[in-house]
Structure 1
Amino acid sequence: MTNRLFVSVDFPPIKGGIQNYLYGIISNLNPSETVVLTSDVGDRDENKHFDESQKFTIYRTKISSGISFLKQLFKLIPLLFQIKRIIKQHNIEEVHFGNALPIGLLVFLLGNRVRTYAYLYGLDISHAKLSPVKSRILKLILKKTKKVITISNYTKDLIISIGIDNKKIKIISPGFSMPELLDSKNNIRDEYGISKDKKIVLTVARLHERKGHDKVIEAIELALEENKKIFYVICGKGPYEKTLKKQVKNKQLDRYILFTGEVSNEELISWYKEADVFIMTSRQIGEKGDVEGFGIVFLEANYFGIPVIGGNSGGMPDAIRDGKTGFLVDPLNVNEIADKLISLTTSVKLRNEIGREGHKWVISECSWQQRIKLLESM
């Protein structure tokens, strides 16, 4: 039995990758031994409804990432008193900082009564490295904590690059929550006028330059020369939408590419059930390290028996078993992307073999229950 307090600026019902990751861990721990201290940012009623629906205890306070680093530092003292009060009230033995900066600085003020852990995801490390002061602070925090938890081998290497011992770092990749209800629309193809003979290539991602939609569109154009049955469905919205739609129009690919916008869970499951191939060729953008930390969507697709194609960049090699659950490609090599698309959309045997292996892998090795075992073994 270990009583744990998770302190994080990022937590549901606000949506996001870090929020989903932390909730995945916390919601799969023993709720009687788990406490969360997080931000009160967002709609008060929505926060209250979410908190009351959880089995574990949630406290909210005035911490936020939407303010300057200096202002965040000033909020650490009142936060410290809240943490100490919760430690005493709940007999906390471990404090997990869901954000290493700046709240992780409190590891120096908590004493030796509790064990401390810091979580890092990728962009937070890259951004800290741009500032000598933040980089130095981050290094001091990580050296003080018992363990540093991160999501992939890529992010582990980033942490090592700032001077943290390899043995101190624990990789706990995002897990996959098996859906309890698989309600879906039965006529998703009919709704969008997509004939049954079309091979659906699917991307579910925010429309951002990093996600690689532009290179996939170029690859679709090449792949169509070999297989006219390919149809590309893009689910999501974001700042790159106008650029991508202009690219599709200029290439006269409107008949082969559909932008659905943001979709409901019901519609998303429908697309997963209909898709033949899933693709997201994310890449690093610029020197700031804007890169994919993992890629949970690959696990989602694999769960539905869909073979995947992903960019060999960032943490995506941890989410794809190359040649078994899908293929890793050079995210900038359009010809290589097109070749894999052609192979998977034309070969039923290859598609089924990889799809079955992907489903088997997710079920046996990628559940949150498997990830929790890693946390509890530390």
Structure 2
Amino acid sequence: MPISQDRRPGLPTAVIVTSNFRAPSGGIQYWCVQIANLLNQTGLKAKGYGLRDLSLTSTYRLFRDLLWAQRLVFGTWKHILPTLPLSLFKAAFLPRGKQPDIQVLCHGDELLCLKTRLSKAAVKLMFRSLSAKPIANSAFTAQLVKNTLNIDGVRVARPIVSPPRTESPRLATSSAHPTDTNDLNLLTVSRLVPRKNIRTCLHAVHALLRSRGIDVHYTVAGVGPDLDSLQSLARNLEIDDVTHFLGEVTDATKDKLLAGADIFLLPSVQTTSPPSVEGYGIAFIEANYHGCPVISGNSGGMPEAVLDRVTGIITDGSPDEVTAAILELLETKLDQQRIRDWAFTHSPHENTDIVNML
């Protein structure tokens, strides 16, 4: 017989499941934390769980809350797998009208890893069996869902990106970046992996120093498997004296770096080994909050996150185009207020797309 699902006092009405339920731990996790915060502000009681952080007690609470929650949000389709037996049980035995509303966030990378027909068919069957609805972070990702899983009508919701806790000192002025000082401060905040294309940034710094004679300083904040090779390249290019690898930084330090940067560099590219792509580009929006123009790549959802010649410059990710984009931003300053205005369209107060879908 179908089981009933009467609400129990104190239990959440919405459960969000991701890898690490901590805001600084990555784009997917960051988005999930923001969704939980917004749902709680609307009066729904939302609870988030990080699968990598589960203890025996929190595992019990997760499955208890999954059993009674009316809305389930999964960070990606992969986050459904540990809870799949319970999710299928609810889908099979709850009476119609009482089955949970299941939403699955889609970002890009997790779809590229589905290379075989069997893997694509298995994930598609999981969506269908659970009546799960995908929500993409960009039109690019929505098309990727359609092409990979043959699911039509995928909704698009831009990621929620909160403004910095403290106002950037330079936001009190109306001048746009870069600054009028002799030093050019370039910044990348990113995981150090091939997709981020930081090697190209190093070659651009070398070109600016050797060919143009510009006094440039390049700061790279982040960790990842490419650290040693990037440091080696900086030494080989003889720019290690103006290139600073900071490692992992706190949110407060990141805000200070963005406040002092003239241009934010992240000319990401789509890679095939491993398959990876920028589904949107939260880092660009974080830089734009500080009025800082950005230089991006042109693959994935980046052209949706960056307004070309308004909030930054979109390039093909090659050293020549990145160098040319830096020089263009030196000569033609972008409107700082327009840059900030674009960032604020992603703020929790203005970007309610995802909440309306839930």
Q: 1:361 aligns with which of 333, 342, 345?
A: 342
Once the 2 structures are TM-superposed, how far is the Cα of residue 232 of structure 1 from its aligned partner? 1.4
- Show the counterpart of 2:325: 340
Are the equivalent residues in 2 in contact too, given 1:172–1:375 (CA < 8 A)?
Answer: no
Amino acid across the alignment from 1:6? V
**Amino acid paired to 1:206:** R
Q: Match of 1:212, as an amino acid?
A: N
Distance 1:340 1:207 in 2: 22
Shift of 1:338: 0.7
Runs of 4+ in 1 over 6 A off after TM superposition: none
Separation in structure 1 between the aligned mates of residue 231 and residue 79 of structure 2, nearest angstrom: 39
Change (3 A) 1:172 1:247: same
Give 3-state SS (helix, strand or coil) of 1:207's partner.
Answer: coil
Aligned CA-pair RMSD: 2.9
The CA deviation string for residues 17-38 of structure 1, in whole angstroms up to 9 with x for no partner, is 2211100111112354133252
1:101 pairs, out of 78, 87, 91, with 78
Q: What is the one-letter code of the residue matched to 2:115?
A: L
Distance in 1 between residues matched to 2:324 and 2:199, nearest whole Å: 16
C-alpha deviation, 1:141, in angstroms: 2.9
Is residue 351 from structure 1 mapped to residue 337 from structure 2 by the alignment? no
State how 1:61-210 maps to structure 2 within 5 Å. 61=59, 79=63, 83-84=66-67, 86-87=68-69, 92=70, 94-101=71-78, 103=80, 105=84, 108-111=88-91, 112=96, 113=98, 114-127=100-113, 129-143=114-128, 144-145=130-131, 147-167=133-153, 169-182=154-167, 197-210=182-195
Aligned length: 324
Distance 1:17 1:374 in 2: 15
From the superposition, tell whether residues 231 and 183 of structure 1 become closer, same or farther in structure 2 (CA, over 3 Å): closer
| CA shift for structure 1 position 325 | 0.8
Q: In the alignment, is the contact (CA less than 8 A) between 1:202 and 1:279 conserved in 2?
A: yes
Corresponding residue for residue 38 of structure 1:
49
The DSSP-based 3-state class of the residue aligned with 1:351 is coil
Aligned partner of 2:17 among 8, 14, 19: 8
Task: Tell me whether 277-286 or 260-269 shows the greater mean CA deviation.
Answer: 260-269
Q: Does residue 316 of structure 2 align to residue 330 of structure 1?
A: yes
Q: TM (normalized to structure 1)?
A: 0.77
**TM superposition shift of 1:183:** 8.5
Contact 1:150 1:172 in 2 (8 A): yes
Kept in 1: contact 2:31–2:161 (CA 8 A): no
User: 5+ residue gaps in structure 2?
Assistant: 1-11, 170-180
Q: Aligned partner of 1:229: which letter?
A: D
Where does residue 228 of structure 1 map in the other structure?
214
What amino acid is aligned across from residue 139 of structure 2 in structure 1?
N
In structure 1, distance between residues paired with 2:14 and 2:208? 51
Partner of 1:187: none
Report the 3-state secondary structure (helix = DSSP H, G, I; strand = E; otherwise coil) of the residue aligned with 1:110.
helix
Q: Does 2:202 correspond to 1:217?
A: yes
TM-score, with structure 2 as normaliser = 0.81
Q: CA deviation at 1:301?
A: 0.7
With over 3 angstroms needed to count, the CA separation of the structure-2 counterparts of 1:373 and 1:123, relative to structure 1, is closer
Residues 118-140 of structure 1 show CA distances to partners (whole Å, capped at 9, x for unaligned) of 2222221112x224333112112
* Structure 1: gaps of 5 or more residues: 48-58, 64-77, 185-195
**In 2: Cα distance, 1:9 partner to 1:306 partner:** 30
